[in-house]
Every structure is written in C-alpha cells, then in structure tokens.
Structure 1
Amino acid sequence: MTIEAVIFDIGNVLIKWQPESYYDRVIGPERRKAFFADVPLHEEHQKVDEGASLRDVFYNLADQTPEWADELRMWHDNWNDLAAPEIPHSVRLLNALKLRGVPVFTLTNFGHDNFPISQEKFGFLKCFDREYVSGRLNLIKPDPAIYAHVEQDCGITPEALLFTDDREDNIATASARGWQTHHFTGPMGWADRLVAEGLLSAKDAE
C-alpha cells in the first residue's frame, strides 16, 4: 500500500536523548553515576511524558532530595542542553520529505511544557503536519490507545502510515496495529527505507 504519511519519533531519532552524557560533561562521570544510582531519574521523567509539568516534577524532587538539588534543577533549567544535539542526517530526511510534499507527523513521548522549549531551539520540530505529544494527550507509547488516537485523528488507514522509533516496544505496538514500521538504529538505515518506499530519491536521502 502507498504510504500516505511518515511519522517520526523525536528522542534519539531527530535529537539525542541521553541525559547521562550531559551530566558526564557537567558534573563528571563518577558523580553522574552516583546521581543516577540514587535517584530514579528516568522513572521520574516518565511522569513528564505522561502529562506532569517538567518543572514541578524536578523541582519537587529537588526539595525532597537536597543532596542532589542542584543537579535535579538542571534537568529543568538546562533542558535544551540535556535534550540535544540534533541528529543532522535525520533532520535532512525530515526536510526532504516536506519538500516532496509528503505529510510528516510526530508521535513522541514528550512533556506538554518542555516540547515548546525544544521547538524554540530546534525549529524543525515546528514543521510537522500533525503533532501527537504524549504529555498533551495524557497517553504514552507503547500504550495502544495513543496509536488509536493517531489513527482516529488523521483518518489514514494503519497500513498507509510509516512510523520510525528507536524503541522496539513502541515499534511492536505499531506493527501489531498494522502500521508500516522501521526500527531506528541510525539515520542511514532510515534513509534507505525511505528510498525503498519511493518517498525520497537516493540524492534526497543523502
């Protein structure tokens, strides 16, 4: 079936999402390891993806965990250093699809208040034809309900959607619903898939 829309995840597809790297630079690897061992940071961040305020989650946690208060507030205050940098080849592929007139959506686990912060830094995050952001919807991948919402909202049959994500569990749920999928392990493989689908030329995908 012809692909009618291409859906991008964001973290580790269009921008890097490796908070450990940020803290390694700022506080050093040894202190970072202790910090991540003492505080369930990724579990706390999931609350943001589910709809809580980034500032509330991490400032409240800082108040409760004074020995790591400065580091916890950095998660909010330095967000655009934490969720960075962009992945240039992936951004080129996104822009090439737009130039070709292919509808592009995002389906992302992202907070309602930090997504606009990232959009201000990375202008390409404003170019989607439709934005499906977990923190706005109070639904999160890989819950099938968020995929059902995409289908209902865009009106495109599942088989005509092509979705890329770096997490296999997110891909598996989409595949089970009949979506076309690509497990993102790097932009070159994604480029090859877009060319194979006839959505981009080899030159477009460079």
Structure 2
Amino acid sequence: MVEAVIFDIGNVLIEWQPERYYDSIMPVAARKEMFAQVDLHAMNDDIDRGAPFRETIYAVADQHPKWRDMIRLWHDDWIKMATPEIPRSLRLMKALQAKGIPVFSLTNFGIGSYDFAATHYPFLREFDRDFISGHMGVTKPDPKIYEMVEAASGLHRHQLLFTDDRADNIATAHTFGWKTHLFEGPEGWAQRLVDEGLLSATEAA
C-alpha cells in the first residue's frame, strides 16, 4: 500500500526551461554558443548540491567575460526560468493532502534558489516532508539520496510512489523497489493516482 507520494518539482510542479528563457532574450544561435562554451547545467548542479546560489553563478560569469551579463541572469532572472507552475499537478498535490495522504518533495534544488522560489510559489512550503538536494548534499540519481529518504521517512519499497520527469531518476528509484511514474504531463500522472486508488477520477480532475 502506498503510504506517501513523492513529487519531483522541476518540470513536474514548476516548468524549468533555462534554454527557453535565454531564447526569449537573445538570438538562438548566440544562446547555443554560450551553452556550448559554458557548462551552465554543471554550474547549476553545484548549486543543487549545496553551493551558494548567487556566489556560484557570479563566479562562473566572471570567468567568461563575453557572456558575463547573460550568465548573471541565471541568478538575477532565475524565477523567469522557473516558470510557470503546472496547475493540474498542484491540484493533484493538494487533493492527495486533502485525503490525508502524505506528500513529499524529492528535488534537485539549491538552498538559496529554493528559498527564493518559495517566495513566488508558497506551495513549496506545504509538503509534508521536504527532501531538497542542496540541504542533503547529494543529488538524484545518486542512490544515497534515495537511501536518505527511506531512512528519514521510515518508508520503503511499495510504500512510496514517486514521479519525476527524468528517466535516470526513475531508474534509480526502481532499484529500491519504489513505485514510480515517469512524468510526461499531469494527465498521465492523474490517471496513475486514480489507478493506484489514491484519488477518484473527480478528485484527480
């Protein structure tokens, strides 16, 4: 029996598309050149493991004068990259909680960036348990983060139902025997919650 439902956040509850944001403010060819020259996703991975938000981004920006101002926007315009929220996913989270089903987060998210996001998205403070990589010092899909969730929650295997948009994160959860759902849109996730008997079709609408 499922005792808790675990949501990833990026591209499950909030869209996270940095390339789309940069394409809206600079020529696509220039954006591709910048991303080819500067590993911005690796920079973000460092933040997700606990590195300081602003300082990490500004340090990388200073190392690449050609792209300095644009890289700084990863911090200064961060909320414009992490937008919009995905309304139906949020409704599903609240519907589960309304039935007394615990909802956890398990997210690759920095400490400073999460705190900033929570000022725009109050629901980020409404999980029954938060598992935020920046505080944990490890990111998905490292098995250690899944071990930490089990140890902290006292739940394991089929007691946990986890959704994430990345197949590698789902694959590691599979090795722990968790029930999983590869998130490709809120419609499929809603149906999975109905199929599991956690929500009715009306509650999942």
Instruction: Give yes or no for TM over 0.5.
Output: yes
- Rounded to whole Å, the distance in 1 between the matches of 2:156 and 2:17 is 33
Matched with 1:10 is: 9
The alpha carbon displacement at 1:101 in A equals: 1.2
> Sequence identity, in percent?
54
Task: Say which SS state the counterpart of residue 161 (structure 2) adopts.
Answer: strand
Length-normalised TM-score, structure 1: 0.97
The residue correspondences of 1:59-138 to structure 2 (distance < 5 A) are 59-138=58-137
**CA RMSD between the two structures:** 0.9
SS in 1 for 2:118: helix
The residue that corresponds to 1:31 in the other structure is 30
SS of the counterpart of 1:27? coil
Q: Does 1:41 align with 2:52?
A: no
Whether 1:141 and 2:140 are equivalent positions in the alignment is: yes
1:178 corresponds to which residue? 177
CA distance in 1, matches of 2:28, 2:124: 30
Deviations 1:115-156 (A, max 9, x none): 011111011111101000111110111111110000010111
Q: Distance in 2 between matches of 1:106 and 1:122?
A: 14
Displacement of 1:30: 2.5
Single out whichever of 139-148 and 30-39 deviates more from structure 2: 30-39
Kindly state the Cα deviation for residue 191 of structure 1 after the two structures are TM-superposed. 0.3
Aligned residue pairs total: 205
Measured in 1, the distance between the counterparts of 2:156 and 2:18 equals: 36
Partner residue of 1:163? Answer: 162
Q: CA deviation at 1:29?
A: 1.9
Whole-angstrom CA distance in 1 between matches of 2:35 and 2:86: 25
Q: Secondary structure at the match of 1:16?
A: coil
Residue ranges of structure 1 left out of the alignment (5+ in a row): none
Code of the residue aligned with 1:77 in structure 2: it is D
In structure 2, what is the Cα distance between the partners aligned to 1:177 and 1:106? 17
Question: For each residue in 1:54-84, what CA deviation from the matched residue of structure 2 results, as whole angstroms up to 9, or x when unmatched?
Answer: 2111100111111111111100011111111
